[in-house]
Amino acid sequence: MWSLSSGGSFWATNGRADSGKGSMGEDNESALGSDSEGAEPVELDATGQFYEEVVESMERIHGFTFSNQQMHNLILEINSSKLAYNISMEDVAKYVFSAFLGLPGNETWTGLKEVSFYIFTASHDRFKESPTEFGKLVTRLVHFLYNEMDLLEEEAILEWAATLDEDSELKRIMKPIVDWLQEDSGEESED
């Protein structure tokens, strides 16, 4: 197996473990800085380069009026960068979402209900495309956006789950989180 002079594997995608943060964390930000003397910029690692390209792509279309063609082009650019930098789907989701949150105008969530609708629609569409792969992630995604990011409201999640067909696999997969939310809201109403 090939190895670098530092002893690290030649085939490693980057020389460190992922920090697990939902945005460009301290580990990744250090890759964007300068070397210790501050004279020359440090080259970005693959993850940092991917993130920067996603941000640039999103910023480029941010000011325009929404069109399907622009969204299609953005998706193509993100997929091209994903392949070019060999980024996992988990990291793609993390960094695309992080880049989205960093766009100007996302400081306030006045359109939270509309954003929730888009998140649920995209989740449902993605589940239809690949139920085996995305089915494992959908409840964690909804829980993360509700509990960790505070982007989804309990009422919106419950409304969306109620619109799913009774015999659908997605409804079955979402049942634990729906039960948890209903139990949680039941406890709050008793207090």
pLDDT in tens, 117-138: 788 888 888 888 888 888 888 8
- Six-digit token string for 62: 């941010």
Shortest CA distance to 93 belongs to which of 122, 64, 56? 122
What does the pLDDT read at residue 15? 39
Q: Which residues of the chain have pLDDT under 50?
A: 1-36
HSE, CB side, 13 Å, CA atoms: give it for residue 56.
8
Please tell me the pTM assigned to this model: 0.45
Rounded Cα distance, 9 and 14, in Å: 9
CB proximity list for 74: less than 8 A, separation 6 or greater: 57, 58, 61
What does the pLDDT read at residue 67? 78
Length of the chain equals 191
What does the pLDDT read at residue 184? 75
What does the pLDDT read at residue 28? 43
